[in-house]
Amino acid sequence: MTFDPIVGARSGGWAFFLAKNLRWLGAGFLLCFFSSFGQTFFISLSGGAIRGELGLSNGTFGLLYMLATLASAATLPIVGRVLDRFATRMVAAGTILCLALATALLAHATAVWMLVLAFYLLRLFGQGMMLQTAFTATGRWFSAQRGRAVSVVSLGNQAGEAVLPLLFVLGVGLVGWRTSWLVATALLVVLALPVIAALTGRERDPLSEPPNPRHAALRHWTLHEVLRDPVFYPVCLATLAAPFIVSAVLFHQSYLGELRGWPPALFATGFTVMSAVTVASTLLGGWIVDRFTARRILPLFLVPLMMGCLVLAWFESEAALFGFMVLVGLSNGLSSTLLGALWPELYGTRHLGAIRSLVFPVFVLASAVGPGMTGLLLDRGVSYPAQLVAMAAYCAAAVAVMALIAPAMTRRARGS
């Protein structure tokens, strides 16, 4: 059997790759899947009930969520350093237990302070450490086929988006939203913890596959060197667009449904469509990254999101939501693979935990500011369509900036 670092094992292809690495790919997949309990699209499913029981307006609810998320973003660079010091199994187990505590707290939240604390823990250990553990470990475990590995692991996010909202809506109808969150707690402790601990019991050696020099950084950057790199900051600014826009739209889905006259179940169906498109886009993105490198396709991943914002702003039919979900799915699939491979490609893997723990709070910051800013602007009379057009304009500007710096990144990777 011959090996090509771009396409993998020729005679085995995807089947060979999955069978050979199922243990580690499964661990990353499940970490991403169960991170859904701490992500905006899942938390927002309880938004209307929480606002009603605690008497919160859209703006106040969004502001509380933003503050809790900002606090988690400030904490993550400190907590995330454990990824460079302890085994993946230990970090994963601790993260799952903390996330279970957060889901249980939200189920019992009867006061604003309890709600904010639950949001903080959900964001820190759900969206934060669960994903950090998954992608940091995958970035270290794989080298030549990193794009393919990240694309498989990323499918855990799409599986969570496709399955969990529908199950949660069904559970709310049967037992209420609080008991449904307790069910999430049980799933984390009884299922996620033992399975993921078993899968991460042995680390993968990236040297078990022939290296692909096009995907390897010339050296391993320290965190301080990254902070002095002029390329780092425009890349971060570009990657802010997706978490800001998607979290803002999904968090205020109840308001958007009221504005357009859409039935409540439409978004749950839309999540399924988005997830299906994201799956296809993620797998395609893995092949593209391995074939062309992450830095070369960096200018492209925001184009579908830009178009989706315009569709949602200019059209009011139910089809507009599905058009938005399809375009977001395309962008999400590309970005999940791209960003999982980009940082080790640019800066190496030795200090990847610290670097990702610095970068990820920037994404969390954007996902926090999105719902909060959108809610405050809505309270002040700024129309939702106008905000969506402004989001599309930001995407266009980010695409232009990435197109300008992509050649410089390629030259640097070649040592010129």
Which residue shows structure tokens 């859409």?
A: 262
Q: What is the pLDDT of residue 213?
A: 47
Q: What pLDDT does residue 1 have?
A: 38
Q: What is the DSSP letter of 136?
A: H
Chain center to CA of 46:
20
Helix (H) or strand (E) holding 4: strand 3-4
Question: In this predicted structure, what is the pLDDT of residue 114?
Answer: 93
* pLDDT for the residue numbered 343: 75
* Kind and range of the H or E run holding 288: helix 265-292
> Which residues of the chain fall below pLDDT 50?
1-11, 213-217, 416
Rounded to whole angstroms, the Cα distance separating 31 from 28 reads 5
Element (H, E) at 9: strand 8-9
- Using an 8 Å Cβ cutoff, are 24 and 138 in contact? yes
Structure tokens at 129: 């450490």
Contact 406, 298 (CB under 8 A): yes
Per DSSP, the three-state class of 3 is strand
pLDDT for 86-137, tens place per residue? 888 899 999 999 999 999 999 999 899 999 999 999 999 998 899 889 888 8
Per DSSP, 56 falls in state -
**So what's the pLDDT on residue 10?**
41
Paired tokens of 9: 């094992």
Residue 188 has a pLDDT of 96
Question: Could you give all domains of the chain from N- to C-terminal order, each with its CATH number?
Answer: 20-201+225-413 (1.20.1250.20)
The 10s digit of each residue's pLDDT in 232-291 is 888 888 878 888 888 788 777 777 777 777 776 777 777 778 878 888 887 787 777 777
